[in-house]
DNA sequence: TTAAGTAATCGTAATATTGCGATGTGTTAA
DNA sequence: TTAACACATCGCAATATTACGATTACTTAA
């Protein structure tokens, strides 16, 4: 036991849960907000920005890249990261749909 | 090591990450969608609906209750659950703000 | 009362995540 | 070439999450 039983749920449910998982760490939120704020490719200064070890930062970047939310381009010796707008907007749309689905819910108990 | 270093991040970043964590399991997404679909208090039939053990289902319900997304009322021998519309809408607003923050981001690399 | 039902909690095992030092790979500057 | 730098990956330890059987607390029906 211990592993999530993905087969019990719909593809959509697993998808939304995985999207949420990508956002489920403050370091990853911080990375995304930083990239959004800069509104451009950011090279190098992410490790100092976060305060986590280089290895840990790299791991969070990898997860965001796997989720598709960011993309990295090799720029000489360093790597530049930026938001992937297409996936970003898709996330926004899917979470938006999930929550507006019940905007008019009634408080019953 | 192993524990999230919450003190490195802002209150808002930790808050968003915690909100995402509440959604980061397909069973919890399934529970929320079921409650939204029924649009009413649901008593009892959540265990059969999910296919997980009673103890596991109860644990997921507790997490959603802790997050504030659902509320439970004792109705005789069973417990009725429903969406907490206030918190639900707050989630929608916060995630919405997070993603619309960068709607006009440019693809740079 | 007792028996059956519902649901929370406890205890524990399996697995996943987080974090970091050490190491490896590739790039640039000297 | 060599030295310094940037970043990914490996390996491991600490912690968190997921899952479930067993137990407990409570309600209802008989």
Per-domain residue ranges for chain B? 11-98
For B46-90, what is each residue's pLDDT tens digit? Answer: 999 999 999 999 999 999 999 999 999 999 999 999 999 999 999
Question: By three-state DSSP, how is residue A83 classified?
Answer: strand
For A69-98, what is each residue's pLDDT tens digit? Answer: 999 999 999 999 999 999 999 999 999 999
Please tell me the class of the B11-98 domain. Answer: mainly alpha
Q: Are B70 and B33 in contact (CB under 8 A)?
A: no
Strand D closer than 7 A to residue B52 Cβ: yes
| DSSP-based helix, strand, coil % in chain B, nearest 5 | 60, 15, 30
The helix (H) or strand (E) run that includes residue A72 is: strand A70-75
pLDDT top residue among A45 and A19: A19
Nearest C-alpha neighbor of A3 from the set B32, B63, B81, B26: B26
B74 phi, psi to nearest 5 deg: -75, 125
Q: Which nucleotides of C are covered by protein (CB under 7 A)?
A: 5-11, 13-22, 26-28
Strand C closer than 7 A to residue B68 Cβ: no
The helix (H) or strand (E) run that includes residue A79 is: strand A78-83
Q: Percentage of chain A surpassing pLDDT 90?
A: 83
The helix (H) or strand (E) run that includes residue B43 is: strand B42-43
Question: Across all residues in chain B, what is the average pLDDT?
Answer: 93
What does the block give as tokens for B43? Answer: 């008593």
- The alpha-helical segments, DSSP class H, found in chain A are 11-23, 26-38, 46-50, 54-67, 85-100
What is the fold, at CATH topology level, of the domain defined by A11-100?
Arc Repressor Mutant, subunit A (1.10.10)
pLDDT at B98: 97
Q: Which residues of A touch B43 (CB under 8 A)?
A: none
Strand D closer than 7 A to residue A105 Cβ: no
pLDDT band at B41 (very low <50, low <70, confident <90, very high): confident
What does the block give as tokens for B21? Answer: 């964590």
What does the block give as tokens for B38? Answer: 């029924």
pLDDT band at A108 (very low <50, low <70, confident <90, very high): low
* Residue lying closest to nucleotide C7, CA to C1': B78
pLDDT at B49: 94
């Amino acid at each position: 036991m211990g592993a999530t039983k993905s087969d019990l749920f719909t593809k959509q449910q697993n998808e939304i849960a995985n999207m949420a998982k990508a956002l489920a760490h403050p370091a990853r939120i911080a990375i995304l907000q930083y990239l959004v704020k800069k509104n451009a490719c950011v090279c190098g200064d992410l490790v100092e920005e976060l305060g986590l070890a280089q290895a840990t930062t790299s791991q969070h970047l990898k997860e965001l890249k796997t989720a598709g939310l960011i993309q990295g381009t090799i720029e000489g010796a360093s790597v530049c990261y930026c938001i992937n707008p297409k996936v970003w907007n898709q996330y926004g749309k899917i979470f938006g749909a999930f929550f507006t689905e019940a905007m008019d819910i009634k408080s019953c108990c």
